[in-house]
Amino acid sequence: MSIGKEGAFIYADESGHSGKEIFNEKSPIYYQGAVISIGEIETKVAPIIQKYCTENGLDRLHGYELGEERVNSLCLELLEALDGTQWKFHYTILQKRYIAPTKFVDTVFDCWDNPAVHPFWYTTELFRHTLCVLIDDMMEEGLDVEFWNYYLIDDLDGLIKICKVLLEKAPYIYDKRACEVVTAGLSYAIENPDIFTLVSAKGKSAYKKQTPNIIAFSSLLTATHRFCKEYGVSVSELVHDQSDEFKGTMREYHRMFFGVDFEEDKFGGIPQFKQVEYDLGEFKLESSKKSYGLQVADLFLWLIQRDITDKNLAETKAKILNNSDDFVISRAMSLAIIEARYFQLMQEELTPEMIEAGKKLNKKIEVNQKSAMEK
């Protein structure tokens, strides 16, 4: 326990663990939740958790073991104990099977590797998510599972095979421009297999970087940066529920990538990356038996992921959500992003100067594309 330390403390828990097995129908969603606070929260919540565990003969709190009524009562007490603390609950929701089409888009339609893909179609949210939804539609009858198996073992012949199958389906894409982009991107990849950057099997544990667990961990690091910038603090400790399978990869991500943050583009374009200017603190993997903060994250996460009909429980969930932010990867979220970005662009007033500048930029991009494809 880190009494007296200043800065941000993060307590992160997960649910729906799958590793690389993303097509398990019994566990379609992966969740991660984290309490991020100014100063440690252990001493504030310890009396509540210790009292309950002592009275009920428990060594720690787990939401799924307690049931709705007990979780509701405990969460209300914990929220009251956190009153006066600056804190936020960050949660990640991943539709695990949807990771396959998004990884395919990253592998084949990355404009920096595939010059047949116009940069706007990969670097802006509107078009990138359009590609993800289209590929998801086309990856029917187990094609997504087949792709994922090839992807994890860096099977280039298998990936080219998937590209050829999708190319046969491309003419049926309704939108003319999207049809052109998908056709051009797939065709170039098939004819130039050397463009593929395959890293899932480069080392015994390389596949772990492609899993829901590490995707969610990356989103937590980004959320921590946002929190630190908002409150002007450094990180003191990041405590994650112990994970024997992913501990090495998490430590690597914390060491290599946590020091880099980004600012989002207004229209969902290329973000601007830069080094952070504050301390990154200590990264710990602990059992929730040793961390009251992890037990709070467990209860909040259990509540967040449930469809609730009970009025009292719904009100408690709303209190947590009112002090939360999220990161979601799913087909439904892609569709929502497409709709939101399209509406944003349609409402934006464009001056003649902006239109002319856009035309000039597009011509320059097309020249660069043609030059790259002729090499």
Q: Give percent of the chain above pLDDT 70.
A: 88
The stretches of 206-309 forming alpha helices (DSSP H) are 212-231, 247-257, 292-304
At which residue do the structure tokens 């967040």 appear? 304
Q: What pLDDT score was predicted for residue 275? A: 60
Sequence-ordered list of residues with C-beta below 8 angstroms from that of 72, at least 6 positions apart, any chain: 303, 310, 312, 313, 316
Q: In angstroms, rounded to a whole number, what is the distance separating the alpha carbons of residues 193 and 190?
A: 6
Indicate the pLDDT class of residue 210, thresholds 50, 70 and 90: confident
Q: What pLDDT score was predicted for residue 248? A: 66
The CA dihedral of 298, 299, 302, 307, to the nearest 10 degrees, is -160
CA distances from 172 to 105, 139, 162, 228, 364 (A): 18, 13, 17, 47, 30
Contact 205/218 with Cβ under 8 angstroms? no
Sequence-ordered list of residues with C-beta below 8 angstroms from that of 30, at least 6 positions apart, any chain: 14, 15, 16, 17, 18, 92, 93, 94, 96, 212, 213, 216
Q: What pLDDT score was predicted for residue 15? A: 87
Q: What pLDDT score was predicted for residue 80? A: 96
CA distances from 233 to 69, 187, 228, 243 (A): 36, 49, 5, 28
**Residue 374 scores a pLDDT above 70:** yes
Q: What pLDDT score was predicted for residue 68? A: 87
Mean pLDDT of the chain: 87
**Residue 242 scores a pLDDT above 60:** yes
> Which strand (E) or helix (H) includes residue 345?
helix 331-347
**Residue 274 scores a pLDDT above 90:** no
The CA dihedral of 201, 205, 206, 212, to the nearest 10 degrees, is 120
**Residue 100 scores a pLDDT above 90:** yes
Q: What pLDDT score was predicted for residue 244? A: 61
Indicate the pLDDT class of residue 279, thresholds 50, 70 and 90: low
Q: What pLDDT score was predicted for residue 263? A: 58
**Residue 127 scores a pLDDT above 80:** yes
The tens digit of pLDDT for each residue in 285-300 reads: 888 889 999 999 999 9
> How much is the average pLDDT of 44-53?
94
Domains along the chain with CATH numbers: 8-96+210-329 (3.30.420), 111-196+332-374 (no CATH)
Half-sphere exposure of 135 (CA within 13 A, CB side): 31
- Residue 314: CB atoms within 10 A of its CB come to 14
> How much is the average pLDDT of 27-55?
94
Q: Give percent of the chain above pLDDT 90.
A: 54
Contact 241/12 with Cβ under 8 angstroms? yes
Provide the whole-model pTM: 0.87
Q: What pLDDT score was predicted for residue 147? A: 97
- Least confident range of 174-178, 198-202, 338-342: 198-202
Indicate the pLDDT class of residue 16, thresholds 50, 70 and 90: confident
Number of residues that make up the chain: 375
Q: What pLDDT score was predicted for residue 264? A: 56
Q: Which two tokens stand for residue 287?
A: 């059992």
The stretches of 62-142 forming alpha helices (DSSP H) are 63-66, 68-82, 99-108, 120-123, 125-138
Q: What pLDDT score was predicted for residue 155? A: 94
Q: Which two tokens stand for residue 184?
A: 């051009």
Q: Which two tokens stand for residue 66?
A: 């307690």
**Residue 371 scores a pLDDT above 70:** yes
The tens digit of pLDDT for each residue in 68-98 reads: 889 999 999 999 999 999 999 999 999 999 9
